Amino acid sequence: MKKILIFLTLILGSLTFAQGQTLIVGMELAYPPFEMSNEEGRPTGISVDMAYALGEYLGKDIIIEDMAYGGLIPALKTKKIDMIISSMSVTEERKQSVNFSKPYAKSYLAMLVNNKSGIAKASDLNMKGKKVAVKKGTSGHTVAQKYFPNAEILVFDKESAIILEVSQGKVDAFIYDPLTIYKNWERNQDTTTPLLEQFETESQPWAIAYRKGEEDLGAQIDEFITEYKNSGKFNELADKYLGKERAFFKEKNVPFFFD
């Protein structure tokens, strides 16, 4: 009996040690080229490369957990994942639930509008009868309520469904980051127009989210971000995954994520 107990203790101890050497990173693999899956179904993209680099920096194994964007913060709070690296903007509302690292990138919100919507600038959307689509759980939802209170706001779970609605003219505009707007415009040039001009007063900083009370981990993440940035790794990722888009943004004098 004593030998069995000793064996079980060793097994449990090994499991605890293994778990301590592993970090589960939550992200929604639906935002290429930051978070996506390759042809074999494996996670890839800028955020994935960054997550693995962070794991190497911390001496931890990394497991990528794919889940719906709106479920990321609840999963973090209930300890189903250990951190979020999913192009997540820092907002005051989110800061009530989780901690954020120092920003590693910044973005802002742009619009994809239907060509027949009559919308030439952002303020044209703030009218009764106009319909604006947003993705559930994104900062675009909050911003739409603030900047376009007179428009009807429609909330969707899937980006693909929104693009179809805009392309068909069932909604007037889609609010999201400029990279997504640019990519969807490329695929729907006959029916849509990108409005890339920044209509917010401030940009949207992106950061890594972690649980409250885990400030030691947060300090290590901040150190990693500083070192990763200073070594030029963010620019390498941008060139690897976004060379064409970066050149386009520079030509149009549009701010880029890592500028």
Q: Which architecture, in CATH terms, is 2-106+205-251? A: 3-Layer(aba) Sandwich (3.40)
pLDDT given for residue 252 in this prediction: 77
Contact yes or no for 185/194 (Cβ under 8 A): yes
Task: Look up the pTM and report it.
Answer: 0.73
110 CB contacts (<8 Å, ≥6 apart)? 175, 176, 177, 178, 181, 194, 195, 196, 197, 198
* Structural fold of domain 109-195: D-Maltodextrin-Binding Protein; domain 2 (3.40.190)
142 CB contacts (<8 Å, ≥6 apart)? 91, 93
Letter for the amino acid at 82? D
Domain with CATH 3.40.190.10 in the chain: 2-106+205-251, 109-195
Q: What is the pLDDT of residues 115-146, one digit of tens each?
A: 999 999 999 999 999 999 999 878 888 889 88
Tell me what the pLDDT averaged over the chain comes to. Answer: 89
Confidence class of residue 197 from pLDDT cuts 50, 70 and 90?
confident
Q: Is the pLDDT of residue 7 over 50?
A: no
Confidence class of residue 39 from pLDDT cuts 50, 70 and 90?
very high
Contact yes or no for 166/107 (Cβ under 8 A): no
